[in-house]
Chain A
Amino acid sequence: SQQGEEDPQALSIQEGENATMNCSYKTSINNLQWYRQNSGRGLVHLILIRSNEREKHSGRLRVTLDTSKKSSSLLITASRAADTASYFCAPGHQAGTALIFGKGTTLSVSS
């Protein structure tokens, strides 16, 4: 298993703005997942994109995957203060193998 590396490490925006965070990884994957963590709590699954998909939407979330560049991006549109959290990507490999997380992107949305 390998971890993803999120970029930037920290991001501060105003409510209503869009937030974009990126994830890079090093080897071939079957899928890539994004998770959110509110301070001191467990992670919450946001979205999973498979290696044969290029884009996926869920509510205000848009995830893209570029397997040729080994990268993914998570876009949160019209951010709200409640989106303040840390966001982690997790490259997925053979089913059953553990997910490895990077250091995440800490998003702060101010009103």
Chain B
Amino acid sequence: DAGVTQSPTHLIKTRGQQVTLRCSPKSGHDTVSWYQQALGQGPQFIFQYYEEEERQRGNFPDRFSGHQYPNYSSELNVNALLLGDSALYLCASSRDRVEKLFFGSGTQLSVL
């Protein structure tokens, strides 16, 4: 049983570009949450998707958007990249109403 998988593992972009990160949840999970973790900081909640809709959102600008597909996989899109967007992006999945999160290994994004 595969756990949460994220792709790509590493990514280098330049300022102003756009990026798409992908996440496949653990089998049986229908809820996907995205987090941004800057170096030395805790994970910051970006948003959560359930039933293909954004159910909850953290304090992130509209440049951050997402999508969830019928198979529960999810994408995180970031437009107009800034240097400050450089971080580890983590995807976590869960079953709805079940508290425990399962995390992927993350995508390390570097913006130059």
Residues of A within 8 A of B (CB): 1, 3, 30-31, 33, 35, 40-45, 48, 88, 92, 95-104
Contact = CB atoms under 8 A, between A and B. Distances in A.
A41 B56 CA distance: 24
Contacts of A99: 33, 45, 99, 101
A31 B101 CA distance: 13
A30 B97 CA distance: 12
Given A100-B58, A101-B42, 12 more contacts: A30-B99, A42-B4, A42-B103, A42-B104, A42-B105, A45-B102, A88-B42, A88-B43, A95-B97, A99-B33, A103-B42, A104-B42
A31 B106 contact: no
Given A40-B108, A88-B42, A96 B50 contact: yes
A5 to B, nearest CB: 10
Interface residues on B, range: 20 to 34
Contact of A98 (B56, B90, B97, B106): B56
Contacts of A42: 4, 90, 92, 103-106
User: SS class of chain A's interface: helix, strand, loop or mixed?
Assistant: loop
B41 A96 contact: no
B104 A95 contact: no
B53 interface: no
Contacts of A88: 42-43
Given A40-B88, A42-B4, A42-B105, A102 B99 contact: no
A31 B44 CA distance: 20
Nearest to B39: A40
A43 B43 contact: yes
